[in-house]
């Protein structure tokens, strides 16, 4: 069944590129989950998603042995989170038996609907080191369970944060892995666990905003419907070629 779905989806994407491209100009076009903290009320407010793609579900951002403050005048002139309590030196383990977070991290879970597919491209965020004692390195890691029940991961690897006192945007992919990050039909119904880990200098406060899991998702097309649409797209391309 999955093989037929893969073939149908591939045919649909190749024959109908305009249908697969999404809507130009939509700032949330390639966003699965966004946390921008703008509508939070106080320090104790849960870090709820500001946007979730219709094909996925997402949890709040949770803290494991970190502290947080809600502050004003972020990168877009609104609220942001001040996270503190980071490690002074790298002390992170990728070894997992489940989706439990290690100390000194931010994390959230994203689940793809059973009737949908997704492609995860990476993470992005706005950051500022308010002073030289702030954590000066960061990495993001995404975990999932493979077909054998083992926890696999892909990571951005360590990224240096050098500037002080200015907001900077950063987009990262997941080039370091022990297994390829699932794509397409292999993401259907799957849960992903994302962790943000920062460290270095004195482990001081790091300002973060607009934390985003990037990617695309769509409902699984019915095999017959996908083939019909792909055939229609192919016929349109042939008609245009004959006219030329």
Domain locations in the chain as residue ranges: 33-224
For the 33-224 domain, the top CATH level (class) is mainly beta
- Look at residues 1, 119, 147, 146 and name the one whose alpha carbon lies nearest to residue 55: 119
| Separation CA 194–CA 110 (nearest Å) | 8
Other residues' Cβ atoms within 10 Å of the Cβ of residue 202: 13
59: confidence class by pLDDT, cuts 50, 70, 90: very high
Measured between alpha carbons, how far is 240 from 238 in angstroms, rounded to an integer?
Answer: 5
- DSSP letters, 167-223, are -EEEEE---EESSPPPEEGGGTT-EEEEEEEEE-TT-B-EEEEEEEEEEEEEEPPPH
- pLDDT at position 27 is 81
pLDDT at residue 236 in the model: 45
Residue with tokens 């493979």: 146
Could you tell me the pLDDT band of residue 127, with boundaries at 50, 70 and 90? very high
Q: 109: closest CA among 85, 144, 80?
A: 144
Least confident among 15-19, 45-49, 73-77, 165-169: 15-19
Mean pLDDT of all residues in 187-191? 97
pLDDT band at 12 (very low <50, low <70, confident <90, very high): very low
DSSP 47: B
Asked if residue 137 has pLDDT above 50, the reply is yes
- Averaged pLDDT for residues 87-111: 96
Distance of CA 233 to the CA centre of its chain: 31
């Amino acid at each position: 069944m999955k093989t037929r779905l893969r073939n149908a989806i591939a045919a649909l994407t190749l024959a109908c590129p305009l249908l697969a491209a999404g809507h130009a100009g939509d700032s949330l076009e390639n966003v699965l989950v966004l946390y921008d903290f703008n509508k939070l009320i106080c320090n104790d407010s849960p870090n709820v998603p500001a946007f979730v793609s219709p094909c996925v579900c997402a949890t709040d951002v949770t803290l494991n042995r970190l502290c947080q403050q809600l502050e004003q005048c972020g990168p877009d002139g609104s609220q942001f989170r001040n996270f503190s309590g980071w490690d002074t030196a790298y002390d992170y383990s990728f070894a997992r038996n489940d989706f439990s977070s290690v100390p000194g991290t931010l994390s959230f879970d994203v689940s793809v609907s059973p009737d949908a597919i997704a492609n995860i491209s990476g993470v992005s965020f706005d950051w500022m080191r308010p002073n030289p004692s702030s954590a000066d390195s960061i990495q993001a890691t995404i975990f999932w369970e493979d077909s054998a029940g083992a926890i696999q991961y892909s990571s951005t690897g360590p990224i240096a944060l050098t500037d002080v006192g200015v907001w900077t945007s950063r987009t990262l992919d997941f080039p370091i892995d022990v297994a390829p990050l699932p794509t397409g039909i292999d993401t259907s119904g799957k849960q992903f666990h994302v962790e943000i880990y920062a460290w270095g200098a004195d482990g001081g406060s790091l300002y973060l905003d607009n934390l985003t899991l990037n990617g695309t998702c769509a409902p699984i097309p019915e095999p017959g419907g996908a083939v019909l649409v792909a055939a229609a797209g192919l016929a349109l391309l042939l008609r245009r070629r004959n006219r030329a």
